[in-house]
Each structure stands twice: as structure tokens, then as C-alpha cells.
Chain A
Amino acid sequence: DAMVIQNPRYQVTQFGKPVTLSCSQTLNHNVMYWYQQKSSQAPKLLFHYYDKDFNNEADTPDNFQSRRPNTSFCFLDIRSPGLGDAAMYLCATSRGRLSLADTQYFGPGTRLTVL
């Protein structure tokens, strides 16, 4: 059974056209993360929510925003996608803080293409 679900799996958008990626989880985990992974590169953490507490990475562009309306759902909004934003976007969850070596569960990712 899928525990971290991402929709859509593939998303095509036009340069500058806002796009929203969706993540939901059935694990009731407190923490949800968004990563950007470009081809042959490491996943790069964009931001994470600990419950409703939003934590933005210092180098995440302002073009990227996130919403977490409830425990189960988290959205990634890209306000004006550029060609450089084409990537795989991974959602992940964990029960608590990773300093406790808590397991992080990843979704299958959404591959974003920007035309």
C-alpha cells in the first residue's frame, strides 16, 4: 500500500506558468519534506514542515512556496517555473526529527518538464 503519494507523476508546464505539485501521506507523520533532484545529482532539500512549523532552506529560491493545510497533505507551488526548474521533485515524511535516526519515507516523485 502506498504510504507517500505524489500527484501527478509527470507534469509538463510552460515557462512562467504556475504549477502545483501534490503530496499526501497515510502514515500520520509529523514531518513532511520537499526535495528537488536533478539528473545525476543529489536530492536537494527545499523546505520541510514540522507539523505546521515551516522551515525554509536558506538557498531555496523565492519562486518555490509550500503549503500544508493538514497533516496528510503538502503542496509545492512553483510560481514562475524556469527551464532550470525542470527536475524530479520528491516528497518525504518522517515521524519526528531526523536526529533520532528516524526513517524517512519517500514518495515516487513528480517529474517536472518546463517547455
Chain B
Amino acid sequence: QKEVEQDPGPLSVPEGAIVSLNCTYSNSAFQYFMWYRQYSRKGPELLMYTYSSGNKEDGRFTAQVDKSSKYISLFIRDSQPSDSATYLCARGGGNNNDMRFGAGTRLTVKP
């Protein structure tokens, strides 16, 4: 079993739609969860991170962690064509300074 499982997509939505991206994780020892955005032929860039459970909002983006169900979500409101990218969830932390990524969901927002 992979440590971080992510919906494979691809996902295609019309401009203005609310997007929901989801991941599950298996190791409850880790408490930091991140969402990265990766444009084509570019490296991932950190979008948001959350600690433990709860919500975190940044503009049109909301990250949510439910530790009881080991579920990580990213919501994008009023999606734009510029949001078209691959979104990677990740869990971080621990004494050995490692991170584990999900495989990524490719999102296309159509004008």
C-alpha cells in the first residue's frame, strides 16, 4: 500500500467551477500535509500546508485535513484556466526529514 493515495484524474471542469481534490494517507504519525501545484515542465511549488486536522484558507484555495479518516482535501473556488496543472498532495515531517507525495491529479479548467 502506498503511503499517500491520490485520485488519478484527469479532471476537467468549466471555468468558475468548484474543484475538489482528494488524497488519503496511511501513517497517522505524521501531522504536516501539503498541496503542491506543478505546471507542465516545471518543478512543484508549494501551494498550502496544514498541520494536524482542520481547515486552512488562502484566497480561492482551502485545504482540509480529517485525521480521523486520514483524508486530505483541496478545494478551489471560482476555478480559472490558469489553475490548470497537476496537483500533488504530500505528507511531511518525522525525524528522518522525509516527504511522501501522492501521484498527482491533473486538472484542466476550460474557458
A104 with B97: in contact, given A42-B4, A42-B88, A43-B44 (CB under 8 Å)? Answer: no
A101 touches B92 (CB 8 A): yes
Q: How far is the CB of A30 from chain B (nearest CB, A)?
A: 10
Q: How far is the CA of A4 from the CA of B88 in the complex (A)?
A: 19
Question: Is A48 interfacial (CB-CB < 8 Å)?
Answer: yes
B32, closest chain A residue (CB): A101
User: Of residues 35 to 62 in B, which have CB atoms within 8 Å of A's CB atoms?
Assistant: 41-46, 49, 51
Residue among B41, B46, B102 making CB contact with A103, cutoff 8 Å: B46
Question: Is B14 interfacial (CB-CB < 8 Å)?
Answer: no
B91, closest chain A residue (CB): A98
B contact residues vs A (CB 8 Å cutoff): 2, 4, 6, 8, 32, 41-46, 49, 51, 88, 92-104
Q: List 19 A-B contacts (CB under 8 A).
A: A31-B97, A41-B104, A42-B6, A42-B88, A42-B104, A43-B44, A48-B97, A50-B97, A55-B97, A90-B43, A90-B44, A92-B43, A98-B93, A99-B32, A101-B92, A103-B46, A106-B43, A106-B45, A108-B42
Interface centre among A48, A50, A106 (most CB of B within 10 A): A106
CB neighbours of A41 from chain B (8 A): 103-104
A97 with B97: in contact, given A40-B103, A40-B104, A43-B88 (CB under 8 Å)? Answer: yes
Q: How far is the CB of B63 from chain A (nearest CB, A)?
A: 12
